[in-house]
Structure formats: C-alpha cells, structure tokens
Amino acid sequence: MPDPSPGPPVRNVSMALCACTLAALSIPLINKVFRTGQAFGRPAELTWPAAANTYIARRVQHGGVLYGDWRERPHVPTWYGPALYLPVAYIGRWINADELALNTIARSISLIATLGTAGLIVWLVTRDGQIHPAFAAMAGLLFLASDCHQTSLDVFFRSDSPGTFFTVLGLCLAERSERRWSIPGSLLCFAIAFLYKQSFVACPVAVVIWLWHRGRTRQAVAYAIVGLVGVAGYVALSEVFTHGRYSLNAVQALKGNTTLSNIPDMLSRFIVPTVFSFAVAFYVLLSDWARSKWHLMTIALVISLAAAAALTVRDGSYKYYYGVPFAVSCVLCGRQLAQWWLHRQTDPTAAGILTMAMAFSTVYYVPQAAAHLSLLPENYRLYSNRYAEHQKERQFLRQLADYLNALDGPVLCQYNDLCLYCPRSVLIDTLTFTSMADVGAFDDRRLVKEIRQGRIAAIVLNAGGARTYQSTDTFSRRWRQAMAGAYYPAKDFGGARIYLPVRSTTTKPAPPNKPPPP
C-alpha cells in the first residue's frame, strides 16, 4: 500500500506560503512602528475622550478626587475604572509630569500592554507541544499587524489595551486550572481588567461555563459566587466612599445615543481585516460543536464576541471594542495551523487544509503588504519630522489657549486638548455630552440659555472636523441653533473657527495672526 502521507513538495508549499504571509504581515507592522513613534509625543489626543482622561489623571495627581460630580463645570465624567487613571496620576506625581507627560505615561502603558498581549498569544500557541515557531509568530503578527483595533500598536489613553492584556492573562491561568493557584490567579486578572473597564466581564463567564462543562460543578459555582460577590462588594464600597459619585460616573454618565445599525457596521469593519484568523477560529468552533467537546478558548470567543457586538450599540464605539475576541481568535488560529502542521505526515486532509489556508492568507495579505509598502516612505517622513510637527501643534494650542484665557468668561471649545489649558472651559469632549444631552442624561438647558444670551465668552469649533459621528452630532445642533444671531465668526485660526458674542462689554484681544496648522 502506498504511503498516504503528503510528499515533500506539499509540505514545502505550505511552509513557503507561510513564509510569504509572515513577510507580508511584517510590512504593515513596520508602518505601525513609524506611526507609533510619530504619535507617541503628540500634544493632542489620539482618540476621544483621551483629553478628558488626562484631565482626571491630572486632577488626581494634584490631590483631587477620582470620581467628581460631572454635572458641575467643567463637565468631565470618569467613565472608566480607577486602574486607568491612578497609575498615570501617581507616576505623574512622582516625576512632576505635565499634561503631555501624562499622555506619554498612559500611551506607554497601552503600548506595553499591547505587546504583552501579543507575547501571551505566542506563548499560548507554543506551550502545548512541539509547535513550529512560524505559526506562533504568525499568531502574534496577526494581532499586531492587523488594522482591527490598533491605530499605532494601540497607544491610546484608553482602557481597551491593558484590559485586553489582563483578560488574556486570566484565560492563560484558567487553562492551567490543574495548578493550585491558577484559578484564583485568573480571577484576580479578570478583576484587574474590570478595574480598567466595567465591560470586561465576558471571559469570567466563559470560565464558569467551561468549568461546568468539564464536570467541575462545585468549582464553577465557587468561581461565579466569588466573582459576583467581589464585583458587588467593590461597587457598594465605591458608592459609599465616593458618596454616590461612583454610579453617577460609571452608570449615569454612560447614557447616550444608541443605534442598532452600529452592530453590523462595527462588526463588518472588524471582521474584514481579521477574516483569516476568524475563519480558522470558526473552524475550531465548529469542530468543538460537532464533537460536543468545548474548550475554554472557543467558549471565550463566542461570549466575548457577542458581548463586544452588544456594546457597540452605543455611540462612540469602534473596532477596538473587539480586542478580546480578536486576541482569542489569533490564539485559536495559531493553534489550529500548528495542529495541521503536526498531523500533515499522517493525515493527507490536514496537509491539504493547511495548504489551502496558507494559500488564502497569502492571497489576502500580500496585496495589502504591497499597499502598505507604498506608504512606507511617507510614514518614515512623518516619523522623521515628528518633532517639528509636534512643536507646531503645541504652538497652536498654546497661542489659542492664551487668547481664550485673556477673555473674561467661560469658553466652549470643540478641541478637547485645548480645554486642558483653559481653566474656564465649560466642558471637555463635546461629542460625549452631545450624545448624553440627546437622551436627557446631561441637562444642557443652562448652556443653551447662556449661548443665546451671549454669556459664553467664545465658542471654538473645529472647522475641518466631521459634523457627526455615527448618529451623534460632534457639536450639538441645539447649541449651533442657539448661536444664531448671538455670535459671529471672528477669526479662523489654524483650523479653529472662533465665534464671539455679538453683544459683549468685555475687551476682546485680537487673535494671533498666521497661526501654525493644528
């Protein structure tokens, strides 16, 4: 009987295609390195609401409270958990950091967490056997190089990257549940992820279901009880010690516009750049379903994906909400590719599927690499000129802040970063408060009245910015309507359109001439 194992040509084709995919993934990764270096020192925020997060970290740095009353001016709610703000604030206090340094600290934490998550993915793929390193590297590169949720290796002052890291670390420990401290350790990691963002609760549920499915009922019940009691105790104590301001920030401040169309829109934006890892991950999912033998990672994939999709119903959501399911899909993809490689000599089907999968990845990623290759010179140029560009941006913020601070009265500004330097800013992050006002969570009647009466000393709009984001106006239509007849466009200043009240008894300083572009 002839040997059914595939010959060397088949094996060589699979590995050659794998090498092509690895090379293709390295090109967008290099672009991201340049973009990360360019963005790291930017004085402006990289995503909403980073400036508000910086404001809160600065407040804590100087001895203020973490959870304030955002209904009072300046209106700045603390959306996320304390783990996002406190490390930045305490490190900033230690080194006497200014606003830009606080951003740099936060971006460093997010960058380290993103790289750490990629490292965990590689470790999860390689730890269970004799795995070819090429497939472990591919799993890590799929996570880092994809345009799914990282703009620049995820250096946002947000909770998504560190929360994803601690969630994946919790899954790592839970998988090694035979060890004495693995299960308590996983619960601790999930608790830290929860302290970054309250929505990181899907994977603890996955662990409970997985333990129950494996017949470890008592351990599953204990895990669920400890988790629920821990969350309830933390929320209750936070509510008591903050005198009700915890729920004011963590619950009421999250009310805003919701649009069901966000779910398919965000899901499609997420799936397109991650189709390869998810195609292989769903193959694993269907295989587990056919055998009625569920693994922790497949359960975590289903629950985290469903949770992420549900969360995108709120305005302000984006692809980085899918960080956890994406990381899990990369783990499953790397493991399955490695399994096909291990069984290629005894299973012709495995060898054929592996070849087809590698052919698909090559066809999908090589054209993308060619497109990214054409962007390399421009990204390198921007990276090389980053100091000059950052200086222009700082000059723009400083000159406009000096002008606004010379006015006698509050200012309403659409540039969030500028509000950090204007003590009389009405609010930070007009986008979020527009959404909250639309559903009545934020009472903007006082603001509308002051605009109509011309009592706001200046209103600054981003002339080049989008008027709407998803279903939310980035600057409320009610506020624009109230400006009619009460304000006139006094100056265009580096992309900022300054409106001043028609009737004002204050002396208006002249805006600086020839500002640098923001």
pLDDT values of the chain reduced to their tens digit, one per residue, 518 residues: 444 445 556 567 888 999 999 999 999 999 999 999 999 999 999 888 899 999 999 999 999 999 999 999 999 999 999 999 999 999 999 999 999 999 999 999 999 999 999 999 999 999 866 678 999 999 999 999 987 555 667 899 999 999 999 999 999 999 987 788 899 999 999 999 999 999 999 999 999 999 999 999 999 999 999 999 999 999 999 999 999 999 999 999 999 999 999 999 999 989 988 999 999 999 999 999 999 889 999 999 999 999 999 999 998 888 889 999 999 999 999 999 999 998 888 888 999 999 999 999 999 999 999 999 999 999 999 999 999 999 999 999 999 999 999 999 999 999 999 999 999 999 999 999 999 999 999 999 999 999 999 999 999 999 888 899 888 999 999 999 999 999 999 989 888 999 999 976 445 566 665 554 44
This prediction has a pTM of 0.94
Q: Report if residue 350 sits inside a domain.
A: no
- What pLDDT does residue 4 have? 46
Q: Report if residue 399 sits inside a domain.
A: yes
> Which residues lie closer than 8 Å to 254 by C-beta, 6 or more apart?
79, 314
Determine the Cα–Cα distance for residues 128 and 200; give it in Å rounded to an integer: 27
Q: Report if residue 518 sits inside a domain.
A: no
Regarding whether 166 and 18 lie in a shared domain, the answer is no
Regarding whether 124 and 23 lie in a shared domain, the answer is no
Q: Report if residue 506 sits inside a domain.
A: no
CB 15 within 8 A of CB 388: no
CB 161 within 8 A of CB 36: no
Regarding whether 28 and 170 lie in a shared domain, the answer is no
Regarding whether 286 and 228 lie in a shared domain, the answer is yes
Q: Report if residue 508 sits inside a domain.
A: no
Regarding whether 136 and 242 lie in a shared domain, the answer is yes
Regarding whether 300 and 208 lie in a shared domain, the answer is yes
Count how many domains the chain has: 3
Q: Report if residue 348 sits inside a domain.
A: no
Regarding whether 360 and 281 lie in a shared domain, the answer is no
Regarding whether 139 and 49 lie in a shared domain, the answer is yes
Determine the Cα–Cα distance for residues 133 and 127; give it in Å rounded to an integer: 11
Q: What is the DSSP secondary-structure string of 420-431?
A: TT-TTBSBS-HH
CA R_g for the chain = 26
**φ, ψ (nearest 5 deg) of residue 427:** -155, 165
Could you tell me the residue range of the domain that residue 417 belongs to?
Answer: 388-501
Q: Report if residue 250 sits inside a domain.
A: yes
- What pLDDT does residue 162 have? 97
CB 210 within 8 A of CB 311: no
Regarding whether 426 and 377 lie in a shared domain, the answer is no
- What pLDDT does residue 7 have? 52
Neighbours of 408 (CB within 10 A): 11
CB 423 within 8 A of CB 55: no
Regarding whether 272 and 140 lie in a shared domain, the answer is yes
Query: C-alpha 17: how far from its chain's center?
Result: 32
- What pLDDT does residue 505 have? 44
- What pLDDT does residue 3 have? 47
In the sheet with 458-462, reading across from the earlier edge strand, the strands are 411-413, 458-462, 496-501, 487-493
- What pLDDT does residue 504 have? 63
Q: Report if residue 512 sits inside a domain.
A: no
Regarding whether 129 and 54 lie in a shared domain, the answer is yes
- What pLDDT does residue 184 have? 94
Regarding whether 176 and 52 lie in a shared domain, the answer is yes
